[in-house]
Copies of this chain bind each other. A is one copy, B any other.
Amino acid sequence: MSLSKWRVKASRQVLRDRWIAVRADDCVTEDGVEISPYYVFDYPDWVHVVALDSQNRVLLIRQYRHGSGAISIELPAGAIDPADADPLAAGARELLEETGFGGTMSLSGVASPNPATHSNRIHTVVARNVTPVGERRVDPTERTEPFFVSIEEAVRLATSGEMVAAIQVASLLSALLDMGALELSRDGSPSRD
């Protein structure tokens, strides 16, 4: 058995506004099965910022999220704007807007929020040695409260579900692995059942 792409017989825009863009594709699988329509979310790319200060504390925010209907603990993050030169610039902009902090930016990784439904990508950016550099710009639709935690506490928040956003847990844990703050256990095997 091999895997191949679905054929798209027709495609149309269903929803588009500031918040969402949904496309409906009439698809045929490799086995000839029709899936009409299959909806795809055409968001712009997003940037997630894993920001650490000189003591390696992680900068997080609290924000109301209407999908879950609850206050969420998150990484500074947002959509990459057409005016952003690249994901690093977008990350620096979002970090400043949401926290007032800035630092030395580098790219950690690229992923998809959910390749089943989303066509856009997440760029995970690391900001090191962050310091206060300006005024937060509090968007009235995006009120955020920044706070610092230790790496150990950030990992606890991520694995306990208190940092609830899976797409951000992925960025945080991947970046911590990338920078060597997390690692395979000594023998690379589970120590607990």
Q: Which A positions have Cβ atoms within 8 angstroms of B?
A: 1, 3-6, 14-15, 17, 19-20, 22, 25, 27, 29-31, 33, 35, 37-41, 52, 56, 62-72, 109-119, 122, 128, 138, 140-141, 143, 145, 150-152, 155, 158-161, 164-171, 173-174, 176-185, 188-193
Q: Assuming A68-B118, A118-B68, is B181 touching A182 (CB within 8 A)?
A: no
Q: Assuming A72-B115, A109-B161, is B167 touching A56 (CB within 8 A)?
A: no
| A190 CA / B57 CA spacing, docked (Å) | 11
* Chain multiplicity (copies): 2
Whether the Cβ atoms of B15 and A166 lie closer than 8 Å is no
Q: Assuming A35-B141, A155-B177, A181-B189, is B113 touching A166 (CB within 8 A)?
A: yes
> Chain A contact residues: over half helix, strand or loop, or mixed?
mixed
Whether the Cβ atoms of A184 and B155 lie closer than 8 Å is yes
A184 touches which one: B38, B39, B151 (CB < 8 A)?
A: B151
5 contacts between A and B (CB under 8 A): A3-B71, A4-B64, A20-B39, A166-B171, A170-B173
A67 touches which one: B31, B35, B63, B115 (CB < 8 A)?
A: B115
Q: Assuming A111-B169, A188-B151, A191-B180, is B67 touching A40 (CB within 8 A)?
A: yes
Whether the Cβ atoms of A65 and B166 lie closer than 8 Å is no
Whether the Cβ atoms of B165 and A114 lie closer than 8 Å is yes
Whether the Cβ atoms of B192 and A179 lie closer than 8 Å is yes
Residues of B within 8 A of A38 (CB): 19, 66
